[in-house]
A and B are shown apart, each in its own frame.
Chain A
Amino acid sequence: MLCNRCGKNEAVVFYNENINGYKKSYSLCSDCARELEAAGEINLNFTSPFEEGESLLSGLFESMFGIPSAPALSGAKRTVKEKRCPLCGLTIREISEEGKVGCAECYRSFADELRPSITRIHGSVHHKGRFPLRFKNKCEKGNRLEDLRRRLKEAIKNEEFERAAALRDEIRNLTAEA
């Protein structure tokens, strides 16, 4: 298809604009596109109608991750220094745009920011199951504590106070070890 302005070159830019019912439509070669843009007739800066780089994808992740992408943040953000992950250097905005973190450290650097989205995906933020060898003591103790606390609640509910007292002591001892 040829450019419908100069009629000489192959059209490479297909432009459709509809602002409140005022429609413009062009098929342009790159030269004509550049000229028309310079004249202000067309606007090839995709981001401008939506302000600053909000893509459909980031909108998608925004809803999925509950993290506001660029335009939703305050106008002052450009001047404020954003927090970056010390290992991979990503910001929370970049993470929410990609939908994936940059490294394991991101989960620690942005723990608070990521928690809502993780809860939304899994319905839980409490891991259950295997753990690496080096976490053996910590995790086994954590699991044991969780189990004791659950049993304590049960005992209180059933008004078994003697059992509850014993469980409470056991929890105290276990937490004191740390």
Chain B
Amino acid sequence: MAWYGKKSVDNDVVLSSRVRLARNVEGYPFGRHLTDDRARELIGKIGAILTPSGYEAVDFTGLDMIGATAYVEEHIVSPEFAGEKGPHTLFKNDKKNVYIMTCEEDHLRIQCITPGFSLDEAYAGAIEAESLLDSSLNLAFDEKLGYLTHCPTNLGTGMRASVMMFLPAITKFGKLSSIARQLSKIGLTVRGSYGEGSGSTGCLYQISNQVTLGVSEEESIEKLKNIVASIVDQERKLRDAMTKDDVWNSVADASARAYGTLTYARMLSFSEFMKLWCDVRLGIALDNARKMNGQPGGTGIPSSLSYETLDTLFIESQPAVLTLLSGGTPMSPAERDLRRADAIKRRLAVV
């Protein structure tokens, strides 16, 4: 079990936090300028440091499409890394919160993923792993430019801190584009939930820092934390506005219907699942808000259905993870839809 499925802070709005550090090693060219032999040599060097410290190596060159894509769906590696042709290896720690991609765009992409709104924890985890590598590798650095990266946009700290947020109310009220505009003015950005260039699946967004040079890691994280806190606030306020009886009735209806479909459907595509998932997650949030306000609630969804279970369901319903969990044999989309509905039904039956 990775970052999902754990109890965490502010998880009615924030699913996970992540800090990623881009690092390179002196003397080795970057990206496609690095030959396969030298890439293997570099990965060997990195492995010699990480393996004794309890990291497990996953050689992606030996992984099939389904296996590699599953890591993308779990938000552990980038789609670029999964599609990389040359030697590339993922190292993961035994606590399953630090994941180090080697020979992606940069030689090292050190990331720590933690559940809920927990950027400090994620930063500490990434730094711990980086310090371990720094003690035995000549990390490429310049006093003026900071950590030297393949793409100049990552120079400086090489750090990307981000949070994955569930923002159905902000989306419904059409406030997202104005938030995105404001964020871009202060060096932050909003993306769909799979990183660069991807559209958003069902009300999930990733918010991260953009500028890396001239701003220290702590300053960057502090700024992101403040902004995320205010977005969490705004989302909750808008959700509160939705607890008024007339809106609430239609939300509760949509969410009860969605839960009904999830429990009884025989076939579910991932996109249909995501819509239902959003409705259920929002229904639970509003129900809690109404109870807090002393208003009568009740959606028909068992109160024991937690955000953690829902988030696990989200990860496990994606095509590649679902295929792996069902034994790894490739399935047709229709077979997958049957399997998905079945898995969800069984998971919800034990809630």
- Say if A and B assemble together: yes
Q: CA separation between A38 and B268, bound complex, in Å? A: 58
- Write out the residue numbers on chain A whose beta carbons fall within 8 Å of the beta carbon of B33: 88, 90, 102-103
A164 to chain B, nearest CB (A): 26
Using Cβ atoms and an 8 Å threshold, which residues of chain A touch B157?
127, 129-130
Whether B143 lies near A122 (C-beta < 8 A) is: no
Considering only residues 95-124 of chain A, those with a C-beta below 8 Å from chain B are 99-104, 107-108, 114, 117-118, 121-124
Contact status A127-B27, CB under 8 Å: no
Is residue B324 contacting chain A, with contact meaning CB distance below 8 A?
no
A104 with B148: CB separation less than 8 A? yes
Question: Do residues A108 and B30 form an inter-chain contact, with CB atoms below 8 A?
Answer: no
A174 to chain B, nearest CB (A): 15
Given contacts A125-B213, A127-B144, contact A134 B27 (CB under 8 A): no
Contacts of A104 in B (CB 8 A): 24, 26, 30, 140, 148
B193-217, CB < 8 A from A: 211-217
The verdict on A129 contacting B146 (CB below 8 Å), with A102-B30, A118-B213 known, is: yes
Given A104-B26, A131-B141, the answer on whether A114 and B152 have CB atoms closer than 8 Å is: yes
CB < 8 Å neighbour of A100 from B31, B142, B211: B31
Complex interface: stretch among A29-37, A135-143, A154-162: A135-143
| A-B Cβ contacts below 8 A, count | 109
With the chains together, A132 CA to B138 CA distance in Å?
8
**Does any Cβ of B come within 8 Å of A56's Cβ?**
no
Q: Which residues on the B side are within 8 Å of A8 (C-beta)?
A: none
Partner of B152, one of A102, A117, A127, A129: A117
Q: Tell me whether B71 is interfacial, beta carbon within 8 Å.
A: no
Once bound together, how far apart are the Cα atoms of A133 and B138, in whole Å? Answer: 9
With a cutoff of 8 Å between Cβ atoms, the chain A residues found around residue B214 in the complex are 122-128
Q: Which chain B residues numbered 173 to 188 have a C-beta less than 8 Å away from chain A?
A: none
Question: Shortest beta-carbon distance, B130 to chain A, in Å?
Answer: 8
Report the minimal beta-carbon distance from A43 to chain B, rounded to whole angstroms: 31
**With the chains together, A101 CA to B139 CA distance in Å?**
16
User: Which bucket holds chain A's interface residue count?
Assistant: 20 to 34
* With contact pairs A103-B29, A130-B157 given, residues A135 and B143 touching in the complex (Cβ less than 8 Å): yes
Verify A101–B150 contact, CB threshold 8 A.
yes
A87 within 8 A of B: yes
Bound complex: CA A117 to CA B138 (Å): 26
Residues of B within 8 A of A126 (CB): 144, 213-214
Nearest CB of A to B31, in Å: 7
Hey, what's the 0/1 contact readout for B131-159 against A, CB within 8 Å counting as 1? 10011001111111111101111011101
The answer, yes or no, to whether B28 is at the interface (CB within 8 Å) is yes
With A103-B33, A104-B140, A139-B143 in contact, is A132–B213 under 8 Å at CB?
no
B186 nearest CB across to chain A (Å) = 12
Q: Do most interface residues of chain A lie in helix, strand or loop, or is the interface mixed?
A: loop
Interface centre among A103, A107, A118, A134 (most CB of B within 10 A): A103
Residues of B within 8 A of A134 (CB): 138
**A127 pairs with B156, CB closer than 8 A:** yes
Contact residues of B between 1 and 60, Cβ < 8 Å to A: 24, 26-31, 33
- For A65, give the chain B residue with the smallest CB separation: B152
Min C-beta distance of B265 to chain A, whole Å: 44
Which residues of A have CB within 8 Å of B151? Answer: 99-100
- In this complex, what residue of A is CB-closest to B217? A129
Query: Closest residue of chain B to A142, judged by CB?
Result: B143
B138 CB to nearest chain A CB (Å)? 7
B55 smallest CB distance to A (angstroms): 20
Q: Is the CB of B216 within 8 A of A118?
A: no
B139 nearest CB across to chain A (Å): 5
Determine the chain B residues whose CB is within 8 A of the CB of A87 once the complex forms. 27, 29
Q: Do residues A122 and B141 form an inter-chain contact, with CB atoms below 8 A?
A: no
Asked if residues B30 and A101 are in contact (CB atoms below 8 Å), the reply is yes
Q: Contact check, B141 vs A125: say whether CB atoms are below 8 A apart.
A: no
B144 pairs with A122, CB closer than 8 A: no
Closest Cβ neighbor of B139 among chain A residues: A132
Interface centre among A99, A118, A127, A139 (most CB of B within 10 A): A127
Please, which residues of chain A bring their CB within 8 A of the CB of B24? Answer: 104
Query: Which B residues fall within an 8 A CB radius of A?
Result: 24, 26-31, 33, 127, 131, 134-135, 138-148, 150-153, 155-157, 159, 211-219
Residue ranges of A at the interface with B (Cβ–Cβ < 8 Å): 65, 87-88, 90, 99-104, 107-108, 114, 117-118, 121-135, 138-139, 142
Residue pairs across A and B with Cβ atoms less than 8 A apart, 23 shown, are A88-B29, A100-B150, A100-B151, A100-B152, A101-B30, A102-B29, A102-B30, A103-B30, A104-B24, A104-B140, A107-B148, A108-B142, A121-B155, A121-B213, A122-B156, A124-B215, A125-B213, A127-B143, A127-B155, A129-B219, A130-B217, A131-B143, A132-B134
